[in-house]
Amino acid sequence: MEQLLYPAAWLARWSDEVTDAVSSMVSTFEERYGYEPGANEVRAADRKDPVARDADRGFRGFEDLLAFYEVIEEVVLPDVGNGFFLHSAEDVLRRLAEEGPVHVAGAGDAHGIVIASNGGGILYVAGRGGAIHRSRTASLDDADFDKVADSLPQFLDHVRRSVIRFVETGSPATCSVTGRRLSAVVKRARWPQTLRAGHRLDVGMTGAHDHLS
């Protein structure tokens, strides 16, 4: 496998940041919203899982995803905005086997794979070139897509910032991942940005790429 675009330590820190924010949300969720929250968590990968061991073949050409699934099994956030789910390798590969790759019109990529969704059924597709695209509808039949990140690390940082924004404000502006209206104020956490030697992840983006909804 080629050199990873981001190290396991980066993913571990990402997981800790999201987990800390979600734990804060859950602690006051019932008091604030009047009902109990679901299971909101970042689930660590089980390296003994045969699916995880065999993922190298299924994700050939998707090095970002391979790096991700070596550290994280899946992300389940039903109570952040209208919900966000970064699917497990098993679910991603099962869907790929059953439905085949996704053609992302306009991106020149006929080998996309569905890796995530939100509570409204909107799908997020990773292309072989690394970019992440968001479907405009809940169906992939003749679907149109918008590019929301140039890479999986960039997409994950959007997710992280959206979770923090939701937890810290709980009030309406657009959540960049889920589409629910949230406050525009977000606390900027100190964040390790090193990816490959000499490259850094831009966490201060504004404009189109900063709004995944």
pLDDT at 168 over 80: yes
CA distances from 75 to 40, 104, 131, 198 (A): 8, 24, 19, 29
pLDDT digits (tens, 9 = 90+) for 56-69: 677 888 889 988 99
Q: How far apart are CA 162 and CA 153, in angstroms?
A: 14
202 vs 123, more confident:
123
Q: What angle do CA 133, 85, 194 make, to 5 degrees?
A: 65
Among 38-52, 69-83, 119-133, whose mean pLDDT is lowest? 38-52
CB count, 10 Å around CB of 6?
Answer: 24
Query: Residue 156's closest CA among 61, 72, 59, 70?
Result: 72
Share of the chain above pLDDT 70, in %: 71
Strands (DSSP E) found in the chain = 41-44, 72-77, 84-86, 102-104, 109-118, 123-126, 132-135, 145-149
Instruction: Look up residue 171 and give its amino acid.
Output: S
pLDDT at 196: 34
| Predicted pLDDT of residue 146 | 93
Q: Tell me how many degrees the CA angle 132-74-40 measures, rounded to the nearest 5.
A: 110
Q: Helix axis angle, 63-71 relative to 50-58, nearest 10°? A: 170
Q: Count Cα atoms within 13 angstroms, Cβ side, for 76.
A: 11
Range with the poorest average pLDDT among 12-21, 62-71, 85-94, 174-183:
174-183
Per-residue confidence band for 94, with pLDDT thresholds at 50, 70 and 90: very high
Q: What is the DSSP string of 39-101?
A: --EEEEP-TT-HHHHHHHHHTTT-HHHHHHHHHEEEEEETTSTT-EEE--HHHHHHHHHHH-P
**CA–CA separation, 151 and 126 (whole Å):** 8
Residue 54, pLDDT score: 63
- pLDDT score for 205: 27
pLDDT tens-digit map of 154-163: 999 999 999 9
